[in-house]
Amino acid sequence: MKTREDVKIINQGLEDEMEVRGYRPCLWKMILVGVGAVCSGGLLLLLLYWLPEWAVKGTCTHTSLRDAHTLLLRTKDEFRQWFRVRVHRMLAPGRKPFDDLDVKPKTQLPNGDFDHQVNSVHDEQLPHGQQVQIQYFTHHSFRYYWNEVIQNFELYQGLEDVRVTCAHIHSEHSRGLTKTLQDYRRLFFGENEIAVRVPSLFKLLIKEVLNPFYIFQLFSVVLWSAEDYYYYAAAIVFMSVISIATSLYTIKKQYVMLHDMVSSHSVVRVSVCRGNKDVEQAMSTELVPGDVISIPANGMIMPCDAVLFQGTCVVNESMLTGESVPVTKTSLPSSGDEAARRYNMEEHKRHVLFCGTHVIQTRFYTGFSTEKGQLVRSILYPKPTDFKLYRDAYLFLLCLVGVAGIGFVYTIVLSIMNKVSAKTIIIESLDIITITVPPALPAAMTAGIVYAQRRLKRVGIFCISPQRINMCGQLNLVCFDKTGTLTEDGLDLWGIHRADNGSFVAPELGAAEEHLMNTTFVACMATCHSLTKIEGELSGDPLDLKMFAATGWILEEPTEEETALHNPLMPTVVRPPAVTEDGQNHSQVQNTSCEIGIVRQFPFSSVLQRMSVVVRRLGDKHMEAFLKGAPEVVAGLCKPHSVPQSFTETLESYTRQGFRVIALAHRQLESKLSWHKVQTLSRDLIETNMEFLGLIIMQNKIKQETAGVLTVLQRANIRTLMVTGDNMLTAISVARDCGMVRPHENVIIADAAPPKDSNPPCITWRYMDNPAQTARDHQTAQISMEEEMYHFAVNGRAFAIITEHFPQLIQKLALRATVFARMAPDQKTQLVEILQGIDYIVGMCGDGANDCGALKRAHSGISLSELEASVASPFTSSTANISCVPNLIREGRAALITSFCVFKFMALYSIIQYISVILLYWILSNLGDFQFLFIDLVIILIIAFTMSLNPAWKELVRQRPPSSLISGPLLCSVLTQILTCLAFQVLAFYLVQQQSWYEKWTPQSDACNVSRSSFFNSQNGTTSHDHKNIRNYENTSLFYVSSFQYLAVAIVFSKGKPFRQPSYKNWLFMLSCAGLYSFLLLIMLYPISAIDNFLEVANDSWGALLLSRLFCRRNKPPKVLYRHLALELQEDADWPPKPSTVTYANDPQSHISATL
C-alpha cells in the first residue's frame, strides 16, 4: 500500500508547488489496457488520454522517484491538476551545473543524452569514469534535475542557485567562462531562448477534435447516420467544422502573436568574454549562466536577465511592468555591508538588467528563467478559470446524463417487451442519450460571451480571455491603483517648504526664483534624480522631470565618443540657466560658478523608499551627498537637531490635503574621499548623518471621472479599495476626496512593529480623527464600532508584519480595510490572494506599472496601459480612466445572465424533446428526421443565438446576478417548467387517443398516412405504408405541443431587467419568436400538403374549419334548415356514399337521418 513517503514536493513554497509520484512500466497492465482498447473500439484510449492519472496508474506500477520512467505531477492549488511527464537521462561530467570541472580546457564534453538531443555539445566523450548519469524531466518549459542529496528533483535557474554574496560574484564570476565550462553548463540549461513554438495546424486539430465534446458529437453523428438521420447529422457536422475552424484560427493567431512578441530579441549576436580575457562573437542562444558579455555603446535589446558589474545604464522595462519611463541601473556593490549580503534577484533588481540597456559587462540568467520568460510562461500555461457557474454546469450535465440513463433502461425494457429487433434496440436506446445531452449546448452558451466581447470592443475594452467576462458579472470588490488610475499621471509642483537651522521657513510657490538659485535646496532638486537624455530629450520618472523642470536648470551628458571610451571622469553635469546682466550690452553670461557634476548615483529603491547622489561642485575640493525620498524615511536618516520640531504636524497637514510630499537632505563628505573611493562606498555609509533641507509639495489631481465611477460602484454594493505605493496620509486624503471614505467615517491606521530585542511584534491602532486613542495588542485585537462606519488603513511594512506575526488578524483587517499604502508589487498580489481567500470575487484595475502580478492574480484584471505588460491582464482599456470598470461589470452581468438563460433553455429543450420521444417510444413511434431537423435547426439554434443578443442594462444595480445553477430559485424555475411541459405533453398524448376519429396505428392499418377520402381505395395495398410509425396522431400532437413549448420556455427564460435590456428591445429575438409562432399556427390550422409531407405530420381539414370558426364566429347560423344541412354535408368526408356500399338501419353512418 502506498504511503505518504512515496510523494515528494517540488517548488515548495512557490506558486507552482507540485506533488511528484514515480512510476515504471508494467507489462501485464499494458497488455490488459491493449485488450481493453481493442474491445472498446479505442474508447478506453480516449478515456486514458483525458485522465492522465488513470493512464499512468493503469499501465505502470509505483516506484521510487530515482528509478522512475514516468512521473505524475499534481498541483497543490485549488485546481489539483494532473500532469504526466517522461523522465529523460543524460551523461555529464558532473551532477550540478555550477560544479567545478577538473578537466583540460580543450576537452570536449559528451552528448550523452539517451533520448533527447542537446545542441552545441560535441560528440567526443570524456573517459567513462568521469561521467555520471543524471535524470531530468521537462514541465511547462522548465527542466527539473535529480538531486541525490535531497532525493528529489530540483530546478536550476541561474545565479541565485549558487547562493553567494555580491562580493563573491564580483571576485569569482566576473571573468567569464571557458569554452569547456560553457558547454558543460549548456547540458543543463539548454539554449538561451524563450521558445514559443507555434504548433502545426494538424497538431492543433488533433488536440481540438479529441475534446470530449467533439467525441460526443462524433458519436451522435454516427448514431444518427445509422438511423438514416442524414440531414441533421450533416447539419451538426457543418456546425462542428465551423466551430473547430474558428477555434483553430483563434488559437493559432494567439500563438503567432506571442511568438512575434518574444522573437524580437530571441537571437542576437553578442561579444562574450572568456576566462583568458579573450572576446569572441557568439549568438545569444549559446549563452549560459556565468558568461560575461560586452555590449556596444549604442545598446541592444537584452536577450537575458543580467547583473551589472560596472558602469551605469538606462533600461526600458515596459514589457515587464508597463512603465514606459526609463530606469537607471547601477553596478552590483562590490564592497561594504551591501556587498556582504547574499545576492537576491528581487532585492538587487536595481542592479539587474532585463531589457534594452547600455552596459559594459553582465552576468545573467537565460531562457524561461528570465523575468520576461516568466511572463511568457504565465501566458502559455495559464491557470484554469475557476467559476462556480462552470462547475455547476458540469453537475447539471451529469444530472442530464442520469436522466438519459433512465431513458436508456426504459427504452431497452420497452423494446424487449414489444419484441423489437436487437439493432433497433441499440440504436434507439443510444439515441435517447444524444437527445438528453444537447450537442449544441457549448456553442449556444458561448454566443452570449462572444456578443459581450464585441460590445466591449466597441467601447474600447479589449479582452484576451473571453471566459473571464462571465466572472466580471460577479465582481463584488475592485482594487484600484492610485497614481495614473484614480489620479492623473503627472504631478505638478505646488510649492516648496524649506528648513533652516532646524525650523521651517514660510512656504514658497516656486524653486526658480533668483534668490533660491544658489541654495543647497535647489541644488538638491537639480541633481538628485535619474534623468537622462535620449535623442536630445530629457527622459525619466515624471516626478523627477517635474522637479527638475521647476528649477529651470540645464542638464548635460557626456557625448557618445566620451562614453565609448568608458571615461568615468566625464560625469553628468547640471548648471543654472543663463542670467541676463542689465549692462549696456545686455550680454548673457553663463553661470558656471554653480556647475555641479553627478559623480555617483544610488537609484530609487521602492524597498528603501529613497534615492541619493554624490556630487562635486565646480572648483570645490570636497564632495557632497544629496538625498531624496519619503519624508518619514529621510527624517530618520537626518541629524535630529536639523529636523524641525513641527515636522510631523507640517507633513500631516500637507498629506491630509492630498499632496504628495518628498523630503530632501544634504551632507558634506570628507575632503579625503577620492572619485575611486566614492565608487566603492555603500549607500548606507553615504545616506547617514544628513542635514534636513525641507519638503517638496507635489499635487496629484484626481481624474475627473474617478468620483462618479466610485459612486456608481458603491451604489451597486461593490466594495472599492485603494492599493498604492504612495504615502499613507496622501492615500487616505485621496480616498476621502474621491469618495472611497466618506467624510463622517473614521479611518483607523494599523501601524505594526517587528520584534526587536526582547520586545514581541506589536500593532498600534491610530485613529485619524483622534490620534490620542490608541490600543496596543501583542497577540490579538478586537475592534468594535457600533454606531459609526470605520475603515482600516495599512501600509506595506505593517502588512508584512501582520501577515507574518498576526495571521489570525489579516482576514479581519482585509474585511474592513480600504487604503493600502506603500505596497510593493508582490504585496499587491498577496493582498488579492487574501481577499480571494475570504470568498471575494476580486477585480484589479491598474495602469500597468508594478501591477502586473495583481492583474494576473485577480479574477478580473483591467489594465489601463496598452503597453506590452497588458498581455498579463485579461482586459485592457484604451480609455485611461476607470470609467471602463462599470462598463465591464455591466457587460459581465449581462453575459452571465445570458449564460444562465441559454443553459436553462437548452436544458429544457433537451428535457422537452426527451419527454416527447419517451412518450412516442411507448407506441413504437418517434419524431421524424425532418421534425428533429426543424426543431434543432430552425427553432433551437435561431432562438438560442438571438436570445443572447440582449444588451447590458444601462446602469449597475445593487442586486448581483446568481453565480450558481444549483440554487433554490433557479432549480425551482427549471423544475416547474419541466413539470408543466410534462403535464401538457402527457395530456395531449392522452386526449388525442380519446377522440372519436382516433385510430391506433398498426403496420396493416397505417392510420393517418393517407387521407380519409382515399382510405378505402387503398384496400388493395397500392398505398405505401410508414413502417417507422412516424406519421400518426400522437406524433403530430406532440410535435406541435413541444414546438410551442420551446418558444414559450425561451420567452420565459429570456430575462431582461435589471441586468439586461428587456427582450422586446431585442428585435431579432422578438422577430424570430413571432415568425416561428406564426409559421407553426399556419401549418397547424391551415395545412399545406408540401410542408405536412416534409415534416411527416398528420393534418386534416379540421384546422381550416377551426380557423374559419375563429374568424367568423360573429356570423349568425343560417335560419333555413337546408342551408344548415348543406354545410354539414360539406364537412362530411363520407358523403355521398362510396360505390357498392350499403347503409343499414343501425349503421352509425345514418346519424344524419337521426338528426333530421
Catalytically active residues, by annotation = 481
How far, in whole angstroms, is CA 145 from its chain's centroid?
A: 30
Beta strands at 461-463 and 875-877: parallel, antiparallel or unpaired: antiparallel
Compute the half-sphere exposure of residue 541: CA atoms within 13 Å on the CB side of its CA. 15
End-to-end CA distance of the chain: 93
Q: How many CB atoms lie within 10 A of CB 1032?
A: 25
SS3 readout for 494-511: EEEEEEECCEECCCECCC
In the block, residue with C-alpha cell 472498446: 40
What gap in Å lies between CA 105 and CA 328, rounded to an integer?
A: 38
Q: How many CB atoms lie within 10 A of CB 1056?
A: 16
Amino acid at 978: I
User: 567 φ, ψ to 5°?
Assistant: -85, 105
- Please give the order of strands across the beta sheet that includes 132-139: 88-92, 132-139, 142-147, 152-155
What gap in Å lies between CA 192 and CA 373, rounded to an integer?
A: 11
What gap in Å lies between CA 548 and CA 16, rounded to an integer?
A: 44
User: 699 φ, ψ to 5°?
Assistant: -105, 125
Take residue 429 and report the three cell numbers written for it. 436506446
Q: What is the largest CA-CA distance in the chain?
A: 145
What gap in Å lies between CA 389 and CA 963, rounded to an integer?
A: 6
The alpha helices in 1021-1142, defined as continuous H runs, are 1033-1053, 1067-1085, 1089-1095, 1102-1111, 1121-1131
Contact present, 1032 and 989 (Cβ < 8 Å) = no
Q: How many CB atoms lie within 10 A of CB 1055?
A: 18
Contact present, 85 and 54 (Cβ < 8 Å) = no
User: 576 φ, ψ to 5°?
Assistant: -65, 165
What gap in Å lies between CA 271 and CA 244, rounded to an integer?
A: 47
Contact present, 914 and 403 (Cβ < 8 Å) = yes
Q: Which residue, among 829, 840, 845, 827, has the nearest Cα to 882 in the 3D structure?
A: 845
SS3 readout for 581-639: CCCCCCCEECCCCCCEEEEEEEEEECCCCEEEEEEEECCCCCCEEEEEECHHHHHHHEC
Amino acid at 971: L
Which string of DSSP letters, residue by residue, matches 462-490?
Answer: EES-TTHHHHHTT--EEEE-TBTTTB-S-
Q: How many CB atoms lie within 10 A of CB 1087?
A: 18
Where does residue 484 fall: left (phi above 0), alpha (psi -120 to 50 degrees), or beta otherwise? left
Take residue 311 and report the three cell numbers written for it. 558602469
Three-class SS of residue 537?
strand
Q: Which secondary structure element, helix H or strand E, spans residue 271, and what is its range?
A: strand 269-273
Question: Is 587 buried (19+), middle (13-18) or exposed (0-12) by CB count in 10 A?
Answer: exposed
Three-class SS of residue 982?
helix
Rg (alpha carbons) of the chain, rounded to whole number: 39
